[in-house]
Amino acid sequence: MSGICEGRVVIVTGAGRGIGRAHALEFARQGAKVVVNDLGAEVDGTGSSTGPAGEVVDEIRAMGGEAVANGDDVSDWEGAQNLVNTAIESFGGLDVLVNNAGILRDRMLVNMTDEEWDAVIRVHLRGTFAPTRWAATYWRERTKAGETNHARIINTSSTSGIFGNPGQTNYGAAKAGIAAFTIIAAQELARYGVTVNGIAPGALTRMTQGLGMGQRAREVKPDEFDRFAPENIAPLVVWLGSEQSKEVTGRVFLVSGDTISVAEGWRRGPTARKGDRWDPAELGGVVPGLVEQAAPNATMAG
């Protein structure tokens, strides 16, 4: 198989179903060798199964590609290290890491438990950090040895994180953290030949079928473009994982259906300066005016 990622070695976490599965299959179609990571858990992170990852590997091999399954927990320190080692030992190296694994434990803040908070933060945020840390270590050591990297990291944020969505303080906080992590990691890892970008995808999957997207989705005719299909997200991710994307780093993209947008992050807005320390009592005549001049926060629609 040949394409824009021919010969590249790719890890995709949470690749057993939905968006991750679509990533893994498209990378394979574009010539990559793929490590398909998935615990086979439920949407809330409970349970596990080797089935989903193995099924994706079978699909890739049936189309003539190369793939291996990995069932490590990406939020576990040793598990994340073993995941990276699986790519190196199976295919001789690592070029691309796609951090996609995630769970949902939606709850309004006043009802959320500490376990619901910790579980989501662990899988999304720690589950992005740990594999990235071990992949970055591998690429740094290659640089020290005089090797050249054309490495790529693609993280999965969310509009819930960068714009905000009620009922998802845990998920949104994790996804906002991933967006910030992406920008900082891009700055740190550029010296090793690594680009780092993120996506905020919109698609109908197990995680979104009970949310607004699931409610808006409808039956699609066989010859009609399905704007909610998870396969629509993969082309951008695969391109970001290719050598063609070497000039793009530290950005988060909104991608859904046939639409790709660049997210524009926090920026300094209307400003007041005094030249001395503010007295709290005088801020009543200052802060409301600044807020009135400021652009409103973006909504989930961007």
Residues with active-site annotation: 158, 171, 175
Give me the residues paired with residue 201 across strands.
255
Name 209's Cβ contacts closer than 8 Å, sequence gap at least 6.
Answer: 217
Between β-strands 151-156 and 96-99, what pairing exists: parallel, antiparallel or unpaired?
parallel
